Amino acid sequence: MSMSHVLVKESGSRPKRIKESAPPILGFSDEDKVGTIQPHDDALVVTLRIGGYDVRRVMVDQGNGANIMYPDLFKGLNLKLENLTPYDSPLISFEGKTIIPKGQIRLPVQSGPETIDVDFIVVDAYSPYTAIVARPWLHALGAVFSTLHVKVKFPSREQIEEILGSQSVARQCISVAILHQAESRSSATEDL
């Protein structure tokens, strides 16, 4: 961390040098790849504390403008339909189907020492993930992420915090999604 100097002159005195610390820089280097399997094309899948519970299989997706919650998490958090507020814009699933959301709910998401209230759109659709956190969460946290380095970084209390992703969980999720897709195709041809 570099230090910058600022000259301050009080009336009737000589200028004094005051040290100011520069804010930490968010970025990634080759050192951030240590512990990852390279090369890879894995999604960034993390564990976050949502609604007071550690939740695995949360995908970080900058390309998405909405934070999404899937049925497993909704049920696992013991949420009820009456906890939801209306949300009436349709969404497109991973399978390309139009989905009408069940509603929206605001829950605290803790990332290290930071907690941010996040609006999740609740959908009743298949996903290998329990939730997707997207641009609104990243921007509120002031975070940057790298799928290459398999981590999220964000400023907190004058330092940089990290959330490490799990390549093994990401690979399990994609395997389950492929198996689900094959089973869906198989059952569709059986119906013919």
Rounded to 5 degrees, what are φ and ψ at 183? Answer: -65, -40
From the list 126, 127, 164, the residue with the least C-alpha distance to 145 is: 164
pLDDT at 18: 56
pTM over 0.85? The answer is no
**Per-residue pLDDT at 149 exceeds 50:** yes
pLDDT at 4: 44
Question: How many CA atoms within 13 Å lie on the side-chain side of 141?
Answer: 31
Query: Considering the chain, what percentage of its residues have pLDDT values greater than 70?
Result: 84
Would you call 27 exposed, middle or buried from its count of C-beta atoms within 10 A (0-12, 13-18, 19+)? exposed
39-184 falls under which CATH superfamily? Acid Proteases (2.40.70.10)
pLDDT at 3: 41
Average pLDDT of the segment spanning 130-154? 95
> Which residues does residue 105 pair with via DSSP β-bridges, in sequence order?
120
- Total residue length of the chain: 192
Residue 78 CA to residue 159 CA, distance in Å, equals 35
Q: How confident is the model at residue 14 (pLDDT cuts 50, 70, 90)?
A: low
Buried b (16+ CB within 10 A) or exposed e, 48-68: bebbeeebebbbbbeebebbb
Q: Can you tell me which residue has the tokens 């690979």?
A: 171
DSSP count for the chain of H helices, then E strands: 3, 13
Task: Kindly report whether the peptide bond that precedes residue 39 is cis, defined as omega within 30 degrees of 0.
Answer: yes
Token pair in block for residue 32: 């951030």
Residue 17 CA to residue 34 CA, distance in Å, equals 40
Domain segments of the chain as ranges: 39-184
- Neighbour tally for 128: CB within 10 Å: 22
pLDDT at 2: 40
**Per-residue pLDDT at 53 exceeds 90:** yes
From the list 74, 71, 125, 73, the residue with the least C-alpha distance to 97 is: 125
